[in-house]
Each structure stands twice: as C-alpha cells, then as structure tokens.
Homo-oligomer: A and B are copies of this chain.
Amino acid sequence: MLSIGDLSKRTGVKVPTIRYYEQMGLIEAAERSEGNQRRYERHDLERLAFIRHARDLGLDIPAIRELIALSQHPDQPCANADRIAADHLIAVREKLEKLKKLEHELERIISHCDGHSIEDCYVIRALSDHGLCEGEH
C-alpha cells in the first residue's frame, strides 16, 4: 500500500498531478485510509507509468483515456489504438514542418542583421514586413 507521495516518488509524477489524473478519469479513485488518505497498489503504479509515458510521447488526455479503455478489452482488435498513435504521428509531423519553417526563417533573419542600430536592425524590419520572408508560416 503506497501513499500518494510514495507513488509520486516512484513514478516521477507530482502529487497534485496524480490527483489531477484521478479527476480527469485516467486513474480510478483510490481506496482511502481511515483518515481519508489515498492508498495505492502495484496496478496503480503501472497505470501511472502508462499515463506518464503516453504524455511524454505527446498524447493528450482524451487519447490516453481512450487507450486505457481499449486496453481493458484484450480480445478486441487494436485498430483503434493504432489509429490513435497514427493520428498523433501525423500531428507531430505537422508541428515539425511548421517548426522547421520557423527555424529557417529565424536563422535567415538573424544572419541578415549586422547588429548595429535598431533603425537598421533586420530583425525589426523582418518582423514589420512578412514580404521579406522566404516562405509562408
């Protein structure tokens, strides 16, 4: 039987975050001690590690909720789980594309400034006029 603090230390998830996950329905409401304190067991540890890992991979809470629900039905096909992951990969790739464009523009803008006065600053000028940009973003 672990206290919420023990669970926190073992998983690296902060105490208020564990309570938040419970509120969001990712973790079942834990059993309580006589004095109303949460008491956890091994399977809560595993559940929390699952959530933490999914969050680290960038999945949002509704997606994780769905994955947990799916994982309760081992005999069902896993097409939905695979689709959640695939959709997320698509979203990650879209963000990557945007960030690459930003990186490119920022590099270009910074390298074009000779670093003298604000009046001539290419950073300021480029921000004032998207026409100076090479691509869209």
A residues at B contact (CB < 8 Å): 46, 49-50, 53-54, 56-58, 67, 70-71, 73-79, 81-82, 84-86, 88-89, 92-93, 95-96, 99-100, 102-103, 105-107, 109-110, 113, 115-121, 123-124, 127-130, 137
A47 to B82, CA, bound (A): 46
Q: A53-B130, A81-B118 provided; 18 other pairs, C-beta below 8 A?
A: A53-B127, A56-B137, A57-B127, A67-B123, A67-B127, A70-B124, A73-B118, A76-B118, A78-B116, A78-B117, A78-B118, A82-B110, A86-B110, A92-B106, A95-B99, A96-B96, A96-B100, A96-B103
Q: Beyond A82-B110, A93-B103, A99-B96, is A77–B127 a contact (Cβ under 8 Å)?
A: no
A120 to chain B: which residues have CB within 8 Å? 78
A73 to B105, CA, bound (A): 25
